[in-house]
Amino acid sequence: MKFINAVGLDARDQLAFDEAMLMSAEEANQGEALRVWEFESPTVVAGRSTRLEVEIDLAFCERAGVDVLRRCSGGASVVGGPGCLMYSIVLSTIQNPALRKIDYAHQYVMSRVLSALQEYVPNVQLCGICDLAWNGRKCSGNSLRVHRDHLLYHGTILYNFDLRFLHRCLKFAPRQPEYRQGRDHFDFVTNVPVDPLGFGKSLRLQFDATESVDSTDYQSRMHQIRCDRYDRDSWHKRH
């Protein structure tokens, strides 16, 4: 697996890069890949089918100057930015056909992410389908996009994020895991005491991402995907 060093990307580039990783594996035989990154500024990212007005306080985000964008994968809306580590992984369903089963894909990825995080926070647990929680509060959410021969799996680790700001950006979640117990965002989420650089190294070991590469082979596809999708309001405001 490759570990990709991609720098100097704005929020729309970041979302386009994730999709470029997937399509480069599908169409250009770039193979499996992992990257670890953060948004430069607070950004709300809706799921592929999210109805924005249901999950996001759009008026607050507009007043605060927060971009509201849409990713290619499913799941609920998240708030990223400095203090919220992101990871993106592309895996081959040809090399591992069992990954075509969604439950197995979640288990395969999240067991490795959990092991990497438990090196720093031993009592973190897997909760719900694909959340990680510390002392009963969510610190990581994840989603995936499945293509013909590969899947994209990406998620978050809250380690030094403004949780009150997150609470202001998002409305009360319409879909909730049982362990949430009706709590609002501020009472439900938490930061975990993890070193982001150390966690990134641990994650690389878990996925055996030994080959370090720059983003050159992905740049052209990223720019095209951004032009076709992530620069268009018709994509971000589609629901």
Span 146-174, pLDDT tens digits: 999 999 999 999 999 999 999 999 998 77
Report yes or no: 140 and 156 within 8 Å, Cβ to Cβ: yes
Judging by DSSP bridges, how do beta strands 43-46 and 67-70 pair with one another? parallel
Q: Identify the CA nearest to 235 among candidates 78, 46, 64, 58.
A: 46
Give the start-to-end residue ranges of the domains of the chain.
2-236
In the prediction, which pLDDT does 174 show?
78
**Averaged over 60-71, what is the pLDDT?**
98
- Radius of gyration over alpha carbons of the chain, in Å? 17
Nearest-angstrom CA–CA distance, 68 and 79: 9
What 3-state DSSP class applies to 76? coil
CATH topology of domain 2-236: BirA Bifunctional Protein; domain 2 (3.30.930)
The tokens for 57 are 């306080």
In the prediction, which pLDDT does 176 show?
84
Alpha-helix runs per DSSP H in the chain: 11-28, 52-55, 58-64, 102-118, 163-169, 185-188, 196-206, 216-225, 233-236
Q: What is the mean pLDDT of the chain?
A: 96
The tokens for 54 are 């249901």
Task: Kindly report, residue by residue over 88-147, the tens digit of the pLDDT.
Answer: 999 999 999 999 999 999 999 999 999 999 999 999 999 999 999 999 999 999 999 999
